[in-house]
Structure 1
Amino acid sequence: MNLTFSTLLNMFSYTYATNKMVCGDGVPLCGVLALQTGYGPNEYASIDPCVHGLWPETDSYGTSKCITPTDITNPTSLALCYNNGTNDNVHQLDFEQHEWEKHGLCSGTKNADDFFSQVCEMSTDPLSIMTISKQIGGDIYDISDALTNAGYEVFHIDLQYSQIYLSACAGPDALWKLSYNIDFQYVCGALSSPQAAG
């Protein structure tokens, strides 16, 4: 199946006009990887950037399906990419359990370990870019530009909590990948890549 230019344009226009994420044909899961710059208030403040979470964009946020993992047991170990520098392991585990219950239970992953492992793996390069940008005095817009220049799509900038949301998708294999929204069908869907088709 090939998409026409007008179909892609309509999908792109709808996504950005409504700020609602559209997964596209053959893409069951899409969402955002929410990354904290560390410039936010209270618990959003930290020296280094860190992960807030991976959020499938379901219901009023987008067209992602909610696919329940095979094992829904709460996480019992800490994911290092969520560490905001407080060294409060009890709070961090509580927060990760909250993220699992609110977002992970719609992620389609095998279990909590798979979910958090994928989140940390996906966030490694973006967090490194954000850390470097922050260390040289970059504000949230500079950090966003650095991510964009590195090839990541910034879906949204949350100024209230100083967070940046990167577009992500997962195919039937439930392997989450960072991608431009307009490319979801090629990265996570049934369509072959545009390069392979040419």
Structure 2
Amino acid sequence: MQFINFAILLSFLMGGASAKKQATMSCGSGVSLCGVLALETGYGPNEYATKEPAVHGLWPETDPYGTSECLEPTESTTDPTSLATCYQNGTQDASDQLSFQTHEWDKHGQCAGVKDSDDFFTQVCDMASAPLAVMTKSKDAGGDLDAIANAVEDNGYEVFYVDTQYSQLYLSACAGPDRQWKLSKVADFAKVCGGW
């Protein structure tokens, strides 16, 4: 009984954040691509400190982070040559942002099963638009990391992980045989992205 009470107390003291921190992601049966859309609140250190919430990137959860396959681009692996709209935050030098975008493409995008870098960043920006609006509204109202995470979840998005070090939210996402990434709860991956 004391162990159970200690576990409840520990959970309470942690602010319930443990419910938003998962070890690895399982794509589930019939789903080849799953991952997280990493969004920055702007409260993080150094380059993570921005006035408005911003996109970090889309990361397929390949081994050891999860069971997603690494599917190469279907058309081209060429690096991006222009800055995607959601990476134009005005707080960083454009050439630095393009270098960062290229890093995201090389490290994560080339495993996302998309056509090319333009397709990858178009999908990232499209997916990020609505949750970023929620995050901005919450931040503008004075919300901290936990309040922003709660607002995102209250709007129907699953927060798979809360990164307290860099003040980021990782939203669960998957892609079906059409290779179009969608935000989805992990429990719904088979329904939303199955059929591989």
Residue 165 of structure 1 pairs with residue 167 of structure 2? no
Q: Check conservation: 1:50, 1:82, Cα contact below 8 A.
A: yes
- Distance in 2, matches of 1:152 and 1:59, equals 24
- Distance in 2, matches of 1:156 and 1:123, equals 16
Query: Pairwise mapping of residues 73-112 of structure 1 onto structure 2 (< 5 A)?
Result: 73-112=78-117
Deviation by residue 1:83-109 (Cα, 9 ceiling, x = unmatched): 343241100000000000000000000
Q: Check conservation: 1:75, 1:97, Cα contact below 8 A.
A: yes
Tell me which residue corresponds to 1:29. 33
Q: What amino acid sits opposite 1:98 in the alignment?
A: H
Q: Check conservation: 1:46, 1:85, Cα contact below 8 A.
A: no
Q: What amino acid sits opposite 2:67 in the alignment?
A: T
Aligned with 1:108: secondary structure?
coil
Deviation (angstroms), 1:17: 8.8
- Distance in 2, matches of 1:178 and 1:132, equals 20
Structure 1 unaligned residues grouped into runs of 5+: 1-15, 192-198
Aligned with 2:83: secondary structure?
coil
- Distance in 2, matches of 1:44 and 1:85, equals 13
The sequence identity of aligned pairs, in percent, is 62
Using the size of structure 1 for normalisation, the TM-score is: 0.86
Residue 54 of structure 1 pairs with residue 53 of structure 2? no
Aligned with 2:122: secondary structure?
helix
2:42 pairs with one of 24, 38, 41: 38
- Distance in 1, matches of 2:94 and 2:169, equals 24
Of residues 162-171 and 17-26 in structure 1, the stretch that sits farther from structure 2 once superposed is: 17-26
Residue 150 of structure 1 pairs with residue 163 of structure 2? no
2:135 pairs with one of 124, 130, 146: 130
Q: Check conservation: 1:47, 1:85, Cα contact below 8 A.
A: no
RMSD: 1.4
Tell me which residue corresponds to 1:63. 67
Q: What amino acid sits opposite 1:169 in the alignment?
A: C
Tell me which residue corresponds to 1:8. none
- Distance in 1, matches of 2:143 and 2:22, equals 29
Tell me which residue corresponds to 2:15. none
- Distance in 1, matches of 2:99 and 2:195, equals 37
Residue 141 of structure 1 pairs with residue 139 of structure 2? no
Residue 187 of structure 1 pairs with residue 154 of structure 2? no
Structure 2 unaligned residues grouped into runs of 5+: 1-19
- Distance in 2, matches of 1:127 and 1:18, equals 22
Aligned with 2:64: secondary structure?
helix
Q: Check conservation: 2:157, 2:184, Cα contact below 8 A.
A: yes
